[in-house]
Amino acid sequence: MSRIGKKPVIVPKSVKVSIENRNVIVEGPLGKLEQSFSPNVKVDWDAASGVIQVERANSSREAAAMHGLYRALFQNMVVGVTTGYEKKLEIFGTGYLFAVQGKVLQIRAGFAHEVQMPVPNGLTVACPDQTHVSIKGIDKQMVGQFAAEVRSVRKAEPYLGKGIKYDGEVIRRKESKAAAKK
């Protein structure tokens, strides 16, 4: 039995939940999210107690795999429409910088050209300074995916630490060949 799947999703009073045609719709102060779910799980919404409960529809292997997954997705939806999600990235290197122009994130990361990344709808990207960028949104998956795409432009390398990394991420540093010859 899934330990995560057994936990109920507690829904605050400011959030509206509706279940219709294998879709869970969660609407809160920051926006509205929708998620369809598998026929291998049953989703019960108790409006009186403000709890979403996810149960297995049968004892198949697929139902066991989906049980915890959908509970976590519904929890992420509730958190997203109440508080939202944020990922922060920083860039390190001579001449490396971030800039936001309209709905486009511009990245200078040591290439001969500037990388232009269009910001997806539903996300807010802000640059407090040239070396940091903040990605905010209500959909956890979308925020994480866009942050990963930005980081993949130039991942921080282990010798000098140049590149893009998550705020607070520790890059494991290596010694250079010259240091090993001494």
What is residue 1's predicted lDDT score, i.e. its pLDDT? Answer: 57
φ, ψ of residue 169 in degrees (nearest 5) = -70, 135
Would you kindly state where each structural domain of the chain is located, as residue ranges? 3-82, 85-166
Report pLDDT digits (tens) over 126-158. Answer: 999 999 999 999 999 999 999 999 999 999 999
Domains 3-82 and 85-166 share a fold: yes
| Yes or no: domain 85-166 corresponds to CATH 3.90.930.12 | yes
At 176, the pLDDT band (50, 70, 90 cuts) reads confident
The CATH number, out of the four listed (3.90.930.12, 3.30.43.10, 3.90.1150.10, 3.40.50.720), of the domain defined by the range 3-82? 3.90.930.12
pLDDT band at 105 (very low <50, low <70, confident <90, very high): very high
Residue 114: what pLDDT?
95
> CB neighbours (10 Å) of residue 31?
14
